[in-house]
Amino acid sequence: MKTLLMALFCVTAFSGVSLAGKAVSYEVDGRPFEGCMEKAAPHAPMVLLVHDWDGLTEYEVKRAGMLAELGYSVFCADLFGAGVRPTALADKQKCTGMLSEDRPKMRALMQGALDAAEAQGLNSENCVAMGYCFGGTAVLEFARSGADLKGFATFHGGLSLPDGQDYSKTKGRVLILHGSADSHITMDQFATLANDFEKAGVPNEMITFGGAPHGWTVFGGKAYRAEADKKSWAQFTNYLEDVLK
């Protein structure tokens, strides 16, 4: 009941927010969601892009456009619900907390977004999932579920392992891009994740950027670090070239 009430709060509290870009409406378990798509050439490799804790915004749309210019089809997932774009700190915490407390739901929403992308004709069989901050948390959750993707990548994403989980079912290659000055997601968590990957035999690359705080890729934000953004984007696009054929 608590999860249901929180879901209703998130849906009703921020209704009426419009999303620019090529919007795609879809449903997961009867609830409406609104993603965004950039469709490249037929059969082009695909990136499933997952938003931060403020929901799917113009930031993700811009990143999708940058990937489309490189020849990738992109589907921006919506994990909060159509029109749910929280701005206040407490509201962001409620929307992300709801999913952090319900990991099966988080996995179902990730799968629902992937299914929606496939329904739009995107190539889900040659796909990498990537996410920013909270989106990175969701991407690693999807990786642990055994989702059959070519890879999983995170930018300043959550790295801690929920109780009772491991990476034994993970398929594909994982890329972790992390700021060593991140006070929210520590280097201790980074090191623990490296051990978790090694224990499970997960192919991975884990890269840190000195002086980069949490959220260093967000254009115009106080934490934005241009050099780390440029270098991490280059690492990510090189990774895509290697993983998606």
Q: DSSP code of 47? A: E
Round the average pLDDT of the chain to a whole number and report it: 91
Position 9 pLDDT exceeds 50: no
CB-based contact 131:137 (threshold 8 Å): yes
Domain ranges of the chain: 2-243
Per-residue pLDDT tens over the stretch 109-164: 999 999 999 999 999 999 999 999 999 999 999 999 999 999 999 999 999 999 99
Position 104 pLDDT exceeds 70: yes
The share of the chain scoring above pLDDT 90, in percent, equals 89
Q: DSSP code of 4? A: H
Average pLDDT over residues 63-92: 95
What integer pLDDT is reported at residue 21 of this predicted model? 52
pTM given for the model: 0.91
CATH architecture of 2-243: 3-Layer(aba) Sandwich (3.40)
Per-residue pLDDT tens over the stretch 166-193: 999 999 999 999 999 999 999 999 999 9
Position 20 pLDDT exceeds 80: no
What integer pLDDT is reported at residue 22 of this predicted model? 87
Position 15 pLDDT exceeds 70: no
The share of the chain scoring above pLDDT 70, in percent, equals 91
Average pLDDT over residues 184-204: 97
Average pLDDT over residues 79-97: 93
Q: Is 45 helix (H, G, I), strand (E, B) or coil?
A: strand
Give the CA distances from residue 194 to residues 18, 54, 180, 184, 204, in Å, rounded to whole numbers and listed in that order.
Answer: 39, 28, 14, 18, 8
